[in-house]
A and B are shown apart, each in its own frame.
Chain A
């Protein structure tokens, strides 16, 4: 058990060090963990994202608490949430003292300019993989396409898409059109 706690701490600490781009940037790491350790499944992660998007608090914190809890109960949640935060604490404390130098340093600017597209690319990969591994069926893919087209014109609140897709799932499920 101690070994699990230590591993959990190490994994979430490393997410805190390497995730760039906020919000969903932790997801590529969490999917990688799901692949490697089987603490939680890919479909559990998808459920967690849905819930995290409509509960209070930053999504990154929600996801850390959720996956920590699923892995090892309340203590697991506490460990994962603090572990993802400790690197932030260290980075911010260092940068706070050299604020002006950090802001204008051209190597920092250039590194950030390269790290953000990397974060975006990894999140794209998560989306693409989910498209192929989720059990969407044709009807689900049609619904997704409708969301994407309407969203690219005018984006609504996350709760709008989750609400509609929840009702959609309920109706389609009860009609027995899909084998869930």
Chain B
């Protein structure tokens, strides 16, 4: 298939529709669409974009879409990809949110949402465990985790401040290691 704005948009729209849950699922979906079916990009490139996307701020699936779109057709491709991957989510949520305000006065719906609140907390803790396994791997990351947890629990500190603290701590750690190497 030809690589143009519309075909890229269409491909990512399909991926966005199939994407359920976390953005992690985007890698297998994109591999099936772009590598296997269309041959637009290699699997290695895609994996690299995904890995980089997890190291950048923002929504991982969106970052991956922008990287891939850019590779396919420059800035135009990036815009097509991001529009495509976002639009199904946008439409679905607008529809549900519009209905939601109409039905919350039904008592059964309130019971359901009370119950679902339990499921949400379980999902949060599963996500925490998954992230923990990936990123808290040594003493340094353990210390960062503990300090940030205390900061986040202690009150109304903005999450952005905590992120900036972690950024500075990470850079300082590397800086100190460099200095030690130089002195030895």
Contacts and interface: CB of A to CB of B under 8 A. Distances in A.
A8 interface: no
Contact of A70 (B97, B114, B129, B152): B97
Nearest to A60: B59
B141 A77 contact: no
Interface string B34-60: 000000000000001000111111111
A174 B55 CA distance: 47
A135 B121 CA distance: 12
B110 A106 contact: no
A69 B97 contact: yes
Contacts of B167: 111, 114-115
B116 A165 contact: yes
A43 to B, nearest CB: 7
For the residues of A in contact with B, the DSSP-based class is helix
B8 interface: no
Interface string A124-167: 11111111001110001001100110011001011001111111
Interface string B82-118: 1001101110111011001000000110111111111
Contact of A173 (B115, B126, B149): B115
B182 to A, nearest CB: 14
Which of A19, A49, A108, A120: most chain B Cβ within 10 A?
A120
Contact of A57 (B86, B136, B140, B153): B86
A148 B107 CA distance: 28
> For chain A, which range describes its interface: under 10, 10 to 19, 20 to 34, or 35 or more residues?
35 or more
B44 to A, nearest CB: 13
Interface string B147-161: 111011100101110
A61 B117 CA distance: 20
A120 B94 contact: no
Contact of B78 (A92, A113, A128, A155): A92
5 contacts: A49-B120, A49-B124, A118-B163, A122-B159, A169-B111
Interface of B: 16-24, 26, 48, 52-63, 66-67, 70-71, 75, 78, 82, 85-86, 88-90, 92-94, 96-97, 100, 107-108, 110-129, 131-132, 134-136, 140-142, 144-149, 151-153, 156, 158-160, 162-167, 169-171, 173-174
Given A66-B93, A113-B170, A126-B124, 20 more contacts: A23-B24, A27-B124, A46-B120, A53-B21, A58-B89, A60-B61, A66-B97, A69-B93, A88-B56, A88-B62, A91-B58, A95-B56, A110-B173, A114-B140, A118-B148, A125-B149, A130-B117, A148-B122, A155-B126, A172-B114
